[in-house]
């Protein structure tokens, strides 16, 4: 399981329990549907791929920060 998959799993679990995240997720889904209707499937696919890569990049930065913090703590 890669970092993006772990991140997505944690977010999905939190969505069940956290009203603010549930509300935000609904907004995102609404905007995604509007975007897809306006620009079509191909453009939406590219947008979605960019979003997934951005999440993966963010996850890598977070991992790097944790690793740097652990090294400094030693």
- List the chain pLDDT tens, one digit each, 74 residues: 777 777 777 777 776 777 887 888 899 999 999 999 999 999 999 988 999 999 889 888 888 888 887 666 65
Q: How far apart are alpha carbons 22 and 39 in whole angstroms?
A: 26
Q: How far apart are alpha carbons 70 and 66 in whole angstroms?
A: 6
8 Å CB contact between 44 and 35:
yes
8 Å CB contact between 1 and 55:
no
Both tokens of 44, joined, read: 């939406």
pTM recorded for the entire structure? 0.55
13 CB neighbour count, 10 Å cutoff: 10
Q: How far apart are alpha carbons 50 and 25 in whole angstroms?
A: 18
């Amino acid at each position: 399981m890669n970092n993006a998959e772990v991140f997505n799993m944690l977010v999905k679990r939190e969505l069940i329990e956290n009203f603010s995240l549930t509300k935000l997720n609904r907004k995102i889904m609404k905007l995604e549907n509007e975007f897809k209707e306006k620009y079509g499937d191909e453009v939406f696919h590219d947008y979605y791929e960019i979003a997934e890569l951005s999440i993966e990049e963010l996850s890598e930065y977070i991992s790097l920060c944790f690793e740097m913090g652990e090294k400094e703590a030693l």
